Structure 1
Amino acid sequence: MELLLLRYPFTFLFIAFLALYQVNPAFRYFCKMTFYKLWVFTVSILVIMLSIPRGRDAENMKFLRMMFLPLKYIFGLKIVVKGKENLRTKKPFVLVLNHQTSLDIMVMMEILPDRCVPIAKKEILYMGTFGLACWLSGIIFIDRKKKEESITTLTQVCVLLFPEGTRNHGGSMLPFKRGAFQLAVKAQVPVIPVVISSYCKFYNQKEKIFTTGKSIIQILPEVDTVGLGPDDVPKLTEQVRDSMLTTFQGISGMTNGASH
């Protein structure tokens, strides 16, 4: 063993790495998440280079989307999309998704429509090359402390929001913030709910588990907002959350579900 280490140190380290990767779930989790972050920040440089000639434009989102699509094959994830017909519309709409982990970015790219602009917290803008790539792709950054600035008049493109406002690792859904629904009502455009199944069978941040697995994306029928006003927003918010929570429990294989 000592002779092998002395003569072929890199070979020995590589074999040790592979062995540790196979037998230690926490080490495998660390490796995959490190690769994920390095991939995002490195390939963002290519997105920036491709986007600069056009400048800040929602059309550049296609480059960002292309950057994430190979990751599902690298990580051995099967993504099944149901209800694609509910996105076949050319009119503006507000797309709302449940938010679990940073992997949501990778998964949502599977269904992100053309000229659909995500709305994100402003902190992402300062995340190096990834932040600049997002800015060039037309992503709208908001200050969550300034609620009035979160509601913008967007009628030429669709927008994507996570109504929970932050990541939820609890296996259910947090209460929804009303910004997405205020926006939809103000613009009189429909809300299209999208539900991503729980990652718990292949990913767990607390227990440091990241294996191969399957994620289901269920696109629900649009919820019309024509004729609704500000007073209808609370009811609309709860209506959409209830339908998304029921769907989440169903596609995640939860028998008893979680409480509201």
Structure 2
Amino acid sequence: MLYLLRLLLLAVHFVAVGIIGLLIGLCRPFHVDNTRRFARLYGLATRHILGIHVRAEVEPLHRLPPGYVIVANHQSNLDLFLMGRHIAPRTVSMGKKSLKWLPLFGQLFWLGGNVLIDRSNAYQAQRALATTSRALAEQHTSIWVFPEGTRNRGPRLQTFKKGAFQMAVDAGVPIIPVCISRYAGSLRLNRWVSGQVRIKALQPIATSGLTRKDVRALAEQCQRQMQACIDGLQDQAPDR
């Protein structure tokens, strides 16, 4: 019963945020801070509705001025709700072009000024990466990327794609890895406290002086650091 009630409340919350967000987005379309506002609206009540306790250590995201690349592991659509209140100002994200056709959420994603990539068109994808690199370097905008390229519920990170790291190197900006503990499949939404999720931002990785020849090694370094962090977060997780 509690599980069904939570799903109903979550659906109502999702629609309400979608309507409010559309009004904000239409008044200030593509504003650089729209994504953060939308994410905070989504995350505002979701964690309470679902009974999820979130412990976040994300000081590096707020210590640096905007203009860096965030790379994070991606488990489910709940990531947005869990991270919503911790997203720093002037942060946008990158997603596949088809996202903009999702009812309400897709329109907010588009109005939020996020980067939409057509993965089936290599030329257009490269142009989007180049445009984003310029925004990082010249417009003091940060970008959030899931470098695995898809949702991953397993214990091991999939091989990171190079796009995020290429952008960071081209723009000469740091990379901040963000790790979310493995929660997919372990939450118990039929309990008052359905589980705990830990989020940790690692120290920035500098890219100044690097070239595109260093991109693959940079991606592998970041993946190793994040895997070790996620494993550590899991070891520290309370028994459910």
Who is 2:174 aligned against?
A: 190
Matched, 1:246 2:228: yes
What is the letter of the counterpart of residue 45 of structure 1?
I
Q: Is the 8 Å Cα contact of residues 144 and 150 (structure 1) preserved in structure 2?
A: no
CA displacement 1:97-154 (0-9 Å, x = unmatched) = 0000111111121321011001111121001211111211111111122342441322
Please give the TM-score of this superposition, normalised by the length of structure 2.
0.85
Structure with the greater alpha carbon radius of gyration: 1
Structure 2: tracts of 5 or more residues without a match: none
Q: Which residue of the other structure, out of 45, 55, 59, is the alignment partner of 2:29?
A: 55
Matched, 1:39 2:13: yes
Q: Which residue of the other structure, out of 103, 120, 145, is the alignment partner of 1:161?
A: 145
Would the alpha carbon gap of residues 226 and 102 (structure 1) be closer, same or farther in structure 2, given more than 3 Å must change?
same
Aligned partner of residue 128 in structure 1, secondary structure: coil
Matched, 1:148 2:123: no
Would the alpha carbon gap of residues 83 and 102 (structure 1) be closer, same or farther in structure 2, given more than 3 Å must change?
closer
Would the alpha carbon gap of residues 31 and 178 (structure 1) be closer, same or farther in structure 2, given more than 3 Å must change?
farther
Would the alpha carbon gap of residues 66 and 91 (structure 1) be closer, same or farther in structure 2, given more than 3 Å must change?
closer
Q: Is the 8 Å Cα contact of residues 51 and 136 (structure 1) preserved in structure 2?
A: yes
Q: Percent identity?
A: 30
Q: Which residue of the other structure, out of 27, 46, 60, is the alignment partner of 1:71?
A: 46
Would the alpha carbon gap of residues 149 and 254 (structure 1) be closer, same or farther in structure 2, given more than 3 Å must change?
farther
Q: Is the 8 Å Cα contact of residues 42 and 129 (structure 1) preserved in structure 2?
A: no
Q: Is the 8 Å Cα contact of residues 52 and 195 (structure 2) preserved in structure 1?
A: yes
What is the letter of the counterpart of residue 43 of structure 1?
V
**Structure 1 segment 76-95 matched on structure 2, within 5 A:** 76-85=51-60, 87-95=62-70
Q: Is the 8 Å Cα contact of residues 75 and 153 (structure 2) preserved in structure 1?
A: yes
Which has the higher mean CA deviation after the structures are superposed, 37-46 or 113-122? 37-46
Deviating 4+ runs (over 3 angstroms) = 30-38
CA distance in 2, matches of 1:93, 1:237: 15
Q: Which residue of the other structure, out of 90, 101, 115, is the alignment partner of 1:115?
A: 90
Aligned partner of residue 194 in structure 1, secondary structure: strand
Q: CA deviation at 1:59?
A: 2.2
Please give the TM-score of this superposition, normalised by the length of structure 1.
0.79
CA RMSD of aligned residues (A): 2.1
CA distance in 2, matches of 1:96, 1:58: 19
The count of aligned residue pairs is: 224
CA distance in 1, matches of 2:29, 2:184: 39
Q: Is the 8 Å Cα contact of residues 193 and 220 (structure 1) preserved in structure 2?
A: yes
Structure 1: tracts of 5 or more residues without a match: 1-20, 23-27, 204-208, 256-260
CA displacement 1:186-224 (0-9 Å, x = unmatched) = 111000000000105743xxxxx5351111101100000
Matched, 1:124 2:99: yes
Which has the higher mean CA deviation after the structures are superposed, 138-147 or 116-125? 138-147
CA distance in 2, matches of 1:32, 1:218: 27
